[in-house]
Homo-oligomer: A and B are copies of this chain.
Amino acid sequence: MLEQTAIVTLLTDFGVTDYFVGAMKGVLLRKPPQPTIVDLTHDVPPFDIESAAFTLLAAYKEFPPQTIHLAVVDPGVGSSRRPLLGVTRDYFFIAPDNGLLSYVFEREAANLRVYHLTNEKYFRRASSETFHGRDLFAPVAVALMHGIAPAKLGKPVADYAKLHSLAPARVDDERLAARIIHIDRFGNCVTNITRENLSDEQIARGAYLQSGTREIKSFRRFFADSENASDEPFAYWGSAGFLEIAVNGKSAAKQLQLASGLRIEVIDAH
């Protein structure tokens, strides 16, 4: 058992009106050591694996070492989708093998082991084959809290599902091909551009973003900027470490007709 209270985070597309989340929490709390459970969100748009992958990426590192991140989105129960356990230096990740852990795995590639969860001894004796969150994922989290070694829970795998890479791709000397990876509830558009892809020097010498025929040349340090209340779109470094595109008091996604997956180019004609 762990010295401090174990923490389990939950990320699902179950919503909060049914008994699904409550039942999972009951399983997690059933025996000591009882974890602290944190809801990341249960409102992932149904089947939107990219959105879930981003949300997990943006939050997981805030939690203390040993935290178990449990994510269930579109588990495809009954199909061939495998349940996975990812182990990094600091965290455990439990999720279906559908790309949900893709971004985290890419960032943690240097310290990553991935297992296909096969040891039914640690699953719930099934009353149903339709609710893996309660009957498989939560029981595996309990096993980890009891100190069961990951290697006892399944078999190492390397061929897990991957979404498109988080890293933008170089097109040519002047252009980098990036994309929208998430749109938040305010309509701000999160790109996969980081400070490693676009430096302050580049911005200072005139680098800009291009979405279709639209150019975004305004960069701001803060979101709120009362001196500049126009509805010109602007870019800023968002709190998840990525460049975001916004419009003052409006939805940039609507105004610019942006959606997850759409291409954004960084142009630096230095």
Q: Are A78 and B222 in contact (CB under 8 A)?
A: yes
Copies of the protein in its oligomer: 3
- Binary per-residue interface labels of chain A (236-261) against chain B in the complex, 1 for a CB within 8 Å, 0 otherwise: 11111100000000000000000000
Contact A36 B34, CB 8 Å, known A18-B184, A222-B130: yes
Q: Are A16 and B41 in contact (CB under 8 A)?
A: yes
A225 at the binding interface (Cβ < 8 Å): yes
B224 touches A77 (CB 8 A): yes
Q: Which of A15, A29, A32, A127 has the most CB of B within 10 A?
A: A29
Q: Is A112 an interface residue (CB 8 A)?
A: no
Distance of A251 from chain B, by nearest CB (Å): 12
The CA-CA distance from A36 to B15 in the complex, in Å, is 21
CB distance from A223 to the nearest CB of B (A): 5
In the complex, chain B residues whose CB is within 8 Å of the CB of A77: 222-224
A128 to B237, CA, bound (A): 7
Would you call B32 and A4 a contact (CB within 8 A)? yes
Contacts A/B (CB < 8 Å), 29 sampled = A16-B42, A16-B43, A17-B185, A19-B40, A19-B54, A19-B56, A20-B239, A21-B41, A22-B39, A23-B62, A23-B239, A25-B38, A26-B59, A26-B61, A27-B62, A29-B64, A30-B64, A46-B186, A77-B223, A77-B224, A78-B224, A78-B225, A79-B224, A127-B239, A128-B237, A128-B238, A130-B223, A130-B238, A130-B239
Task: List the interface of chain A (C-beta within 8 A of B).
Answer: 4-5, 7, 9, 15-27, 29-32, 34, 36-44, 46, 54-56, 58-64, 67, 76-79, 127-131, 134-135, 184-186, 221-226, 236-241
